[in-house]
């Protein structure tokens, strides 16, 4: 089971769009996928066609300490989406309360991780949609994952934001002894601009081979699909957005082979 957090503390850089559409594209390639919505804005929940306020079992129940009367196991909050193979652990605005409810709890960074480890769920992929902050919800997601996809929109301050993000990852390595692999995806790109070329050069310098070859161009079908509550491959399969996310899924799947090769090497 590959557990991937989609993160960046900057808002509006296509974290949610990537979770929904990478998730649906992996499902299209016959993988069983769970999206965990860790954002109180509940955009993944909305974008998959659910009304967050009508849900009474959410990720917040999973983050409650096991002895709390509100606690539920991850398995108990998972719902199927209309897309075959694609499942959701939904959120709603109540999740905003998690920041202060968890703040004085021992092991607060580990609640999501331990609930995933405890639950005997079988998915090929878990994608975790993070909120635009580096608070306790994002830290729970980063602690639970083994890989992170950082989405970057080519922008003057994009690299500055990434430095801050990498500092958080350094803290995590030092204090929580957790060191997930980091990959970068360029999103909402206007590829003809000089700015695009400059940002790509910088990202390549910093992340080398961990930059996905697939670039997600600016494509209106992606925004429209989310507002209709469906992944873009169902809304407009011929759009560049749909094709790009299918390509991204292929790249992510290719890493499966690399990873199992590495595991075999380690074992021998
Ligand atoms: N490739 C794209 N082309 C055009 N619009 C896009 C693209 N990707 C995302 N968008 C739109 O940009 C906006 C921000 O995207 P999204 O909600 O996925 O970002 P986010 O990083 O999850 O935001 P937040 O930080 O608030 O959670 C949305 O309106 C979305 O529909
Ligand atoms: Mg989002």
Per residue in 153-208, pLDDT (tens digit) is 998 888 888 999 999 999 989 988 999 999 999 999 998 888 899 999 999 998 98
Class of domain 2-267: alpha beta
Per residue in 123-159, pLDDT (tens digit) is 999 999 999 999 999 999 999 999 999 999 998 888 8
Q: How far is the CA of 71 from the centre of ligand 1 (A)?
A: 31
- Whether ligand 1 lies within 6 angstroms of the CB of 16 is answered as yes
Ligand minimally distant from the alpha carbon of residue 232: 1
* pLDDT reading at 216 higher than 90: yes
CA nearest neighbour of 92 among 58, 132, 124: 58
Nearest CA to ligand 1 atom 3: 218
Q: What residues form DSSP beta bridges with 258?
A: none
* For the CA of 241, the nearest atom of ligand 1: 1
| Torsion sign, CA atoms 50, 53, 57, 60 | positive
220: confidence class by pLDDT, cuts 50, 70, 90:
very high
Beta sheet of 147-152, edge-to-edge order: 79-80, 86-89, 33-37, 125-129, 2-7, 147-152, 181-186
* For the CA of 131, the nearest atom of ligand 1: 27
- Whether ligand 1 lies within 6 angstroms of the CB of 218 is answered as yes
Residues 6+ apart with CB under 8 A from 94: 40, 58, 60
Per residue in 222-266, pLDDT (tens digit) is 999 999 999 999 999 999 999 999 999 999 999 987 777 666 666
Q: How far is the CA of 267 from the centre of ligand 1 (A)?
A: 41
Mutate to test the pocket of ligand 1, among 8, 11, 12, 225 (most ligand atoms within 8 A of CB): 12
* For the CA of 227, the nearest atom of ligand 1: 31
Burial per residue of 43-61, b for 16 or more beta-carbon CB atoms within 10 angstroms, e otherwise: bbbbbbebebeebeebbbb
Mutate to test the pocket of ligand 1, among 16, 40, 149, 225 (most ligand atoms within 8 A of CB): 16
Please tell me the total number of residues recorded for the chain in this structure. Answer: 268
Q: What residues form DSSP beta bridges with 184?
A: 150, 211
- Whether ligand 1 lies within 6 angstroms of the CB of 12 is answered as yes
Per residue in 48-65, pLDDT (tens digit) is 999 999 999 999 999 988
The C-alpha angle 143, 8, 18, rounded to 5 degrees, equals 95
Supply the mean pLDDT for the chain: 93
Query: What's the chain's Rg over C-alpha atoms?
Result: 18
- Whether ligand 1 lies within 6 angstroms of the CB of 132 is answered as yes
Please give the structure tokens belonging to residue 114. Answer: 């331990």
C-alpha span between 29 and 116 (Å, rounded) = 23
C-alpha span between 140 and 137 (Å, rounded) = 5
């Amino acid at each position: 089971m590959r557990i991937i957090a989609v993160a960046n503390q900057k808002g509006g850089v296509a974290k949610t769009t990537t979770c929904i559409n990478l998730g649906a594209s992996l499902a299209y390639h016959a993988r069983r996928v769970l999206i965990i919505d860790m954002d109180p804005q509940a955009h993944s929940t909305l974008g998959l066609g659910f009304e967050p306020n009508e849900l009474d079992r959410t990720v917040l129940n999973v983050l409650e300490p096991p002895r709390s009367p509100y606690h539920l196991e991850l398995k108990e909050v998972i719902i199927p989406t209309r897309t075959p193979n694609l499942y959701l652990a939904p959120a709603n605005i109540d999740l905003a309360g998690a920041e202060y409810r968890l703040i004085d709890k021992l092991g607060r960074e580990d609640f999501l991780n331990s609930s995933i480890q405890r639950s005997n769920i079988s998915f090929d992929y878990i994608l975790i949609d993070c909120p635009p902050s580096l608070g306790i919800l994002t830290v729970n997601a980063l602690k639970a994952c083994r890989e992170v996809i950082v989405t970057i929109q080519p922008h003057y301050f994009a690299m500055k934001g990434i430095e801050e993000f990498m500092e958080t990852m350094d803290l995590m390595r030092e204090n929580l002894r957790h060191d997930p692999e980091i990959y970068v995806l360029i999103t909402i790109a206007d590829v003809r601009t000089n700015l695009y070329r400059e940002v790509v050069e910088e990202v390549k310098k910093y992340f080398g081979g961990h930059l996905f070859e697939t670039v997600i161009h600016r494509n209106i079908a992606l925004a429209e699909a989310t507002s209709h509550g469906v992944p873009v491959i169902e809304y407009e399969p011929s759009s560049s957005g749909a094709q790009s996310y299918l390509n991204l899924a292929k790249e992510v799947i290719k890493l499966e082979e690399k990873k199992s090769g590495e595991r075999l090497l380690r074992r021998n």
